[in-house]
């Protein structure tokens, strides 16, 4: 399973996620403290062993790190929304599809959920040269794809040269390994050995090397048909038998808007001390529940085994936990960032239409206007009335759990409506006799705030923002819309005003955010760059961010890197293209029947899914 990376080493993937908010009563502080004190007591009873390889009959198995379990049973989890958009992980742009991709396709390397160390996965071992420009990966021998074909270095070279570096599918990984203008050189040494060469030492590169591998014999004909065909390959109408994979689980069934069912891969390469092949459970089921309320009802009805606990529901869960069949785990502040983003893009699209109304363009590109919005938002109210105390205010582009957090900015500022009004006045805004804000040209200040529909908490959170800004005389039209439509607006057409959303990444590697902060990044939402855009249209501080991204990745010394990334956070704090709101705690309820759980802040609650077993 893939989890977040080691210090100085990045987990590339950044998943687009929803902001979950709802107005409720205050009063969960005591519950939170209890959870923090007791979160690891059960998992500490049994030590999670050191990783090791065991060779049997020429096959290099990975030894399970947990105690021997029982075979049989299933684990049922859930996903919000409409379900996966694809079964092709190299195309995926949504969290559900990416989760499924991680289940189906194994990575070369993974991350130790206890220490953060990079450890072998499909790879048996890896070596880094003294000059840190050559990476040599040796694969385990005897591993098979689900169709019986052996996994070899040809698959690795194909994945990198013909998919990733050729620009097929989601180009996030390719964009992130462009080092001083050059991509890595990838070549086969022998049947089980691959060599990666990079132009300069690059701090995050080891995690990039460890990405998922595609079966070359299956994907080669697909590549030959072009990028457009590749983007549609392994769509959600694909039959399970047509998906050749390497993960602990194989796709068994997909019923749109209902569920995705996986069955155990009988030839997975992890074994326990008794030489039994894992995983232990027979099936892993993802129910597509639509919205958060439905998810909660299904958990309480016993239809789900795992659920993320929202702040508003925490007292309810704590009251039931003692006499229930579930246990609550608190892993601290999550690694995501929740925010409001402004669309700063100026000009017109190829059809001659403005991306953003030119009147609004002037507002959004006024840093005093953006700062006024920031000071009008009541983060403390969100923490207590929205997250029920199970969160902390957020002011920085790095999450509160990041080792690169700019501590000087972490505490941010208090809400200050008077200061917000002063800033607006300095930019020529004024209130009419009815208390509505107008710009210096007499235009009433009104704009749209979009977010993803389907989560009742998020929708209420948008209402809170709307109410906060009303106190400045600003009219906000809050518009929850379907997820794919929202993604299209942000990343394809750029026809939106502001958006309430979130991103997840690594708390140990800021370079995982390159696609957000780099001016040509795939997730540079606040000023999305298209192919025909002029380079001189960049804002001065965007150019500095580009330089910082390059400097930070090439610097290997932690203390020097820290100073570089402190600066990028300062730029975002000062310019405010994105206004951060708060970081929720990661709280999960899991049925007690699920054994071999070793929850960690790095790995989450079920990082070792293939080792879990059911004991009723």
Phi, psi of 588 (to 5 degrees): -130, 140
Q: Span 164-173, mean pLDDT? A: 93
Q: Which two tokens stand for residue 183?
A: 């991509």
pLDDT exceeds 70 at position 43: no
Query: What's the pLDDT tens digit per position in 432-465?
Result: 999 999 999 999 999 999 998 876 667 878 889 9
DSSP single-letter state for residue 140? P
Residues 6+ apart with CB under 8 A from 422: none
Q: What is the CATH number of domain 348-585?
A: 3.10.105.10
Question: Would you state the pLDDT for residue 404?
Answer: 92
> Residue 391 pairs with which residues in a beta bridge?
584
Instruction: Report whether 142 contacts 157 (CB < 8 A).
Output: no
Q: How confident is the model at residue 54 (pLDDT cuts 50, 70, 90)?
A: very high
pLDDT exceeds 60 at position 34: no
Instruction: Report whether 503 contacts 337 (CB < 8 A).
Output: yes
- Give 510-528 as a DSSP string: GGGGHHHHSTT-TT-GGG-
Q: How confident is the model at residue 300 (pLDDT cuts 50, 70, 90)?
A: very high
Q: Which two tokens stand for residue 245?
A: 């994979």
- Nearest in space to 284 (alpha carbons), one of 309, 256, 254: 254
* Whole-angstrom distance, CA of residue 34 vs CA of residue 374: 33
Q: Span 259-286, mean pLDDT? A: 97
Prediction pTM value: 0.74
* Whole-angstrom distance, CA of residue 559 vs CA of residue 579: 27
pLDDT exceeds 70 at position 2: no
CATH superfamily of the domain spanning 98-225? Dipeptide-binding Protein; Domain 1 (3.90.76.10)
Phi, psi of 331 (to 5 degrees): -105, 15
> Strand ranges (DSSP E) for 87-133?
109-111, 118-120, 123-128
Q: How confident is the model at residue 535 (pLDDT cuts 50, 70, 90)?
A: low
Angle at 139 between CA 277 and CA 612, to 5 degrees: 30
Residue 181 or residue 470, greater confidence:
470
DSSP run (H or E) holding 30: helix 29-38
Phi, psi of 582 (to 5 degrees): -160, 165
Question: Would you state the pLDDT for residue 41?
Answer: 36
**Lowest mean pLDDT segment, chosen from 17-26, 221-230, 587-596:** 17-26
* Whole-angstrom distance, CA of residue 27 vs CA of residue 289: 29
Indicate where the chain has its CATH 3.90.76.10 domain(s): 98-225
Q: How confident is the model at residue 538 (pLDDT cuts 50, 70, 90)?
A: confident
41 CB-contact burial (10 Å; exposed 0-12 / middle 13-18 / buried 19+) = exposed
Query: What's the pLDDT tens digit per position in 327-343?
Result: 999 988 888 788 999 99
pLDDT exceeds 50 at position 495: yes
3-state SS class at 496? coil
Peptide bond before 279: cis, by omega within 30 degrees of 0? yes
Residue found under tokens 């559900």: 96
Indicate where the chain has its CATH 3.10.105.10 domain(s): 348-585
> Strand ranges (DSSP E) for 112-182?
118-120, 123-128, 134-139
């Amino acid at each position: 399973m893939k989890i977040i990376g080691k210090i100085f080493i990045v987990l590339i993937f950044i998943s687009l996620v929803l902001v979950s908010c709802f107005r409720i009563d205050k009063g969960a502080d005591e519950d939170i403290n209890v959870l923090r004190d007791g979160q690891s007591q059960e998992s500490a009873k049994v030590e999670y062993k050191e990783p090791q390889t065991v060779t049997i009959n020429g096959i290099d198995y990975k030894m399970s790190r947990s105690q021997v379990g029982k075979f049989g049973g299933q684990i049922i989890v859930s996903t919000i929304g409409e379900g996966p958009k694809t079964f092709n992980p190299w195309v995926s742009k949504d969290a559900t599809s990416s989760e499924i991709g991680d289940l189906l396709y194994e990575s070369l390397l993974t991350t130790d959920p206890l220490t953060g160390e990079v450890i072998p996965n499909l790879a048996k071992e890896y070596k880094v040269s003294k000059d840190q420009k050559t990476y040599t990966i040796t694969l385990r021998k005897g591993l098979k794809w689900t169709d019986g074909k052996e996994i070899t270095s040809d698959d690795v070279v194909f994945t990198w040269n013909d998919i990733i570096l050729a620009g097929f599918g989601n180009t996030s990984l390719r964009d992130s390994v462009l080092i001083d203008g050059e991509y890595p050189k990838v070549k086969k040494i022998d049947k089980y050995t691959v060599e990666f060469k990079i132009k300069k030492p690059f701090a995050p590169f080891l995690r990039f090397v460890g990405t998922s591998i595609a079966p070359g014999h299956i994907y080669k004909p697909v590549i030959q048909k072009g990028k457009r065909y590749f983007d549609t390959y392994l769509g959600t109408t694909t039959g399970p038998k047509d998906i050749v994979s390497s993960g602990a689980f194989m796709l068994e069934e997909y019923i749109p808007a209902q569920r995705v069912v996986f069955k155990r891969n009988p030839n997975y390469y992890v074994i326990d001390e008794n030489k039994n092949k894992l995983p232990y459970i027979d099936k892993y089921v993802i129910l597509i529940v639509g919205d958060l309320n439905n998810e909660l009802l299904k958990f309480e009805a016993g239809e789900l085994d795992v659920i993320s606990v929202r702040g508003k529901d925490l007292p309810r869960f704590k009251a039931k936990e003692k006499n229930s069949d579930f246990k609550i785990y608190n892993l601290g502040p999550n690694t995501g960032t929740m925010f409001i983003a402004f669309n700063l893009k100026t000009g017109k699209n190829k059809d001659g239409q403005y991306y953003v109304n030119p009147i609004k363009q002037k507002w959004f590109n006024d840093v005093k206007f953006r700062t006024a919005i920031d000071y009008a938002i009541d983060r403390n109210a969100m923490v207590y009335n929205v997250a029920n105390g199970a969160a902390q205010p957020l002011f920085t582009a790095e999450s509160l759990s990041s080792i690169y957090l700019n501590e000087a900015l972490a505490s941010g500022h208090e809400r200050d409506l008077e200061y917000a009004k002063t800033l607006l006045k300095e930019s020529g805004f004024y209130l009419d006799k009815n208390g509505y804000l107008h710009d210096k040209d007499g235009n009433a200040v009104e704009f749209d705030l979009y977010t993803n529909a389907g989560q009742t908490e998020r929708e209420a959170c948008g209402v809170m923002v709307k109410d906060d800004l009303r106190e400045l005389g600003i009219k906000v039209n809050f518009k929850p819309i379907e997820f794919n439509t929202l993604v299209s607006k942000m990343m394809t057409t750029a026809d939106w005003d502001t958006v309430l959303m979130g991103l997840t990444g690594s708390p140990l590697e800021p370079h995982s955010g390159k696609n957000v902060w780099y001016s040509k990044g795939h997730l540079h939402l606040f000023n999305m760059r298209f192919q025909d855009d002029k380079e001189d249209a960049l804002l001065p501080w965007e150019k500095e961010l580009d330089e910082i991204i390059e400097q930070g990745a090439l610097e290997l010394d932690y203390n020097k890197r820290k100073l570089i990334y402190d600066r990028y956070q300062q730029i975002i704090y000062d310019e405010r293209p994105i206004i951060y709101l708060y970081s929720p705690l990661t709280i999960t309820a899991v049925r007690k029947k699920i054994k071999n759980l070793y929850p960690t802040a790095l790995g989450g609650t079920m990082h070792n899914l293939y080792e879990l077993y059911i004991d009723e």
